[in-house]
Amino acid sequence: MPSEHFDVVIVGAGLSGIGAGFHLQQKCPAKSYVILESRDCIGGTWDLFRYPGIRSDSDMFTLGYSFKPWTEPKAIADGPRILNYVCETATENGIDKNIRYHHRVKRALWSTPEARWTVEAERTAGEGSTETVRFTCNFLFMCSGYYNYENGYSPAFPGAADFAGRIVHPQKWTDDVDYAGKRVVVIGSGATAVTLVPEMAKQAAHVTMLQRSPTYVVARPAQDPVANKLRAKLPAKLAYHLIRWRNVLFGMYFFQLSRREPERVKQLILGGVKMALGPDYDIGTHFTPRYNPWDQRLCLVPDGDLFRAIRDKRASVVTNQIETFTENGIRLKDGSELEADIIVTATGLNLQVLGGLEVSVDGRTVDFARTLNYKGMMYSDVPNMASAFGYTNASWTLKCDLTCEYVCRLINYMDRHGYKQCMPHNVDPTVTELPSLNFTSGYVQRSIAQMPKQGSKRPWRLYQNYALDIVTLRFGKVDDGVMQYS
């Protein structure tokens, strides 16, 4: 089978994959690269999800790239605008010319004697037929996200087959889902649910958000007035970086405050909800979680749109357990029934390591659940491979940008010293294994056993701290005694 060779193969043409292409072009200009994308377009998450109101759950001054200022008025942007931003970045920098669409990467095999990866991809040809194609590379950079693109998490609800209406998961949303004038029940309380409910309430007869337990919900202006004033008076890049750092530092402060004084932060958040919904609303039942702030990710509602929909009686929240679906809706554990024409199961994602890629090193299959995560991007005893994985407590792109910079530093260091292979290897017997993500969210707990581990000390420890990572990844030693070169 013929194969093509590139210095670097990037997997995934989403937000992080396009960023990886940019950094390689700027910092490793002599290196050839290709981006393999399983779908037919750029954008990843921002093209896959088409449900009403799809938007960012963090501000675009930190979700945007460090090298391309976000210029739209809204800091909390909708999906189409983010997709346009990613596509614009790819086109402006010629990155789109390096993308191979319809290439679903299935496996990667490392050979130490050759010091290269052989990457096998399933290419979709005409009329749905497929063929296997091969690429070889010296370095493999996975930018395929952290969840299964094929299927979201859908629990087996009893009686689902009896429901006379339509059941749809947001990850499978299509243009023919007609909810105008209809009764809608959205099952869930996370970021997707709080986005869907106020948007669908604009056309639906009524939307009910049905949750087993509440999530912390914080209102924030969709437009940042201070940011817009700075952008009007200062050069675009200067204003962008000032706003970016202000938001980064505030996010770090708020996260640390949540850890040190959880009760104080809890009261601040609930006080905001009480102001939005009034003193008579049952905040204790519907908006007071059983956990502390930032034990799970907070939900952001721009301009308080969810609260406004509830105040206007276009939407409501029910906190209860599902007993069974019925022909006309959902019967709850307390015997009451929610009537519905459409049920939306905003029940979450299925986490997936490296997009489900099968990896072997010199004939040995790699079980990533038994690896340690090095600096949040590489894996113990797996050579010449990195993956872009963002923060859980801040914008995804902040960490991905730093990861791309580090990968370029690593490649250039290897070239300068004539190395063909780099591989993180733990030689410290006192390092103990810890779960890679310290989150109680359902989507994390369902998959944590299959995820790589983090270690109890550097460089295996994940601190989820952007300022610390800048010091480590941008300025720290590449030859740290843990990374082995040969």
Of the candidates 97, 98, 117, 99, the one whose C-alpha atom is nearest the C-alpha of residue 107 is 117
Token pair of 334 as six digits:
């307390």
pLDDT at 440: 61
Dihedral sign for Cα atoms in the order 218, 222, 226, 231? positive
Q: Is the pLDDT score of 428 beyond 90? A: no
CA 354 to centroid of chain Cα atoms = 13
Q: Give the model's confidence band at 392: pLDDT under 50 very low, under 70 low, under 90 confident, else very high.
A: confident
Dihedral sign (CA 441, 358, 394, 306): negative
CB 407 within 8 A of CB 19: no
Hey, what are 70's tokens?
A: 């976000």
For 420, the token pair is 């063909």
Chain-wide mean pLDDT for the chain?
A: 92
In 3-state terms, what secondary structure has residue 149? coil
Q: Which residue shows structure tokens 């958040």? A: 269
Q: How many CA atoms lie within 13 A of 422 on its CB side?
A: 26
What pLDDT, on the 0 to 100 scale, is given for residue 149? 83
- 148 or 32, greater pLDDT: 32
Q: What does the pLDDT read at residue 355? A: 87
Write out pLDDT tens, residues 291-345.
Answer: 999 888 889 999 999 999 999 999 999 999 999 999 999 999 999 999 999 999 9
- List pLDDT tens digits, range 107-128: 999 999 999 999 999 998 777 7
Superfamily of domain 3-149+351-485: FAD/NAD(P)-binding domain (3.50.50.60)
**From 149-158, 296-305, 350-359, 433-442, the region with the lowest mean pLDDT:** 433-442
- The pLDDT value recorded for residue 396 is 87
Distance CA 300, CA 220 (A): 7
137-183 pLDDT, tens digit per residue, is 999 999 998 888 888 888 889 999 999 999 999 999 999 999 999 99
pLDDT of residue 444: 66
User: Is residue 349 pLDDT above 70, yes or no?
Assistant: yes
Predicted pLDDT at 442? 67
pLDDT at 447: 67
3-state secondary structure of 306: helix
Q: What distance in Å separates the CA atoms of residue 239 and residue 253, rounded to the nearest whole number?
A: 21
Q: Which of 10-14, 268-272, 353-357 has the lowest mean pLDDT?
A: 353-357
The mean pLDDT value for 399-405 works out to 94
Which residues 6+ apart lie within 8 Å of 475 measured at CB?
none
What is the number of residues in the chain? 486
What number is the average pLDDT over the span 188-192? 92
Kindly tell me if the per-residue pLDDT of 365 is higher than 70: yes
Burial class, 326, CB count within 10 angstroms (exposed 0-12 / middle 13-18 / buried 19+):
middle
Per-residue pLDDT band for 439 (boundaries 50, 70, 90) equals low
Q: Which residues of 26-42 are buried (b: 16+ CB within 10 A; e: fewer)?
A: eebeebebbbbbbbeeb
What integer is the mean pLDDT of 9-25?
96
Q: Phi and psi (nearest 5°) for 266?
A: -55, -45
Is residue 431 within 8 Å of residue 400, measured between CB atoms?
Answer: no
More confident residue, 449 or 338: 338
pLDDT at 462: 87
What token pair was written down for 311? 């105040």
Q: How big is the CA angle at 102 (ends 101 and 103), to the nearest 5 degrees?
A: 90
Amino acid (1-letter code) at residue 305: D
Distance, in Å, from the CA atom of 423 to the CA atom of 378, rounded to the nearest integer, reads 8
In the predicted model, is pLDDT for residue 103 greater than 90? Answer: yes
Identity of the amino acid at 168: V
Smallest Cα–Cα separation from 274: which of 262, 265, 285, 283? 283
For CATH 3.50.50.60, the residue range(s) in the chain are 3-149+351-485
pTM, 2 dp: 0.92
The predicted pLDDT at position 443 comes to 63
CA pair distance 209, 347, nearest whole angstrom: 12
Task: Please give the pLDDT value at position 320.
Answer: 95
Task: Supply the Cα-derived Rg of the chain in whole angstroms.
Answer: 23
Residues near 280 by Cβ (< 8 Å), separated by ≥ 6? none
Count CA within 13 A, CB hemisphere, residue 383: 24
pLDDT tens digit sequence for 244-284: 999 999 999 999 999 999 999 999 999 999 999 999 999 99
Q: What stretch of H or E contains 299?
A: strand 299-302
Torsion of CA 461, 464, 470, 472, to 10 degrees: 0
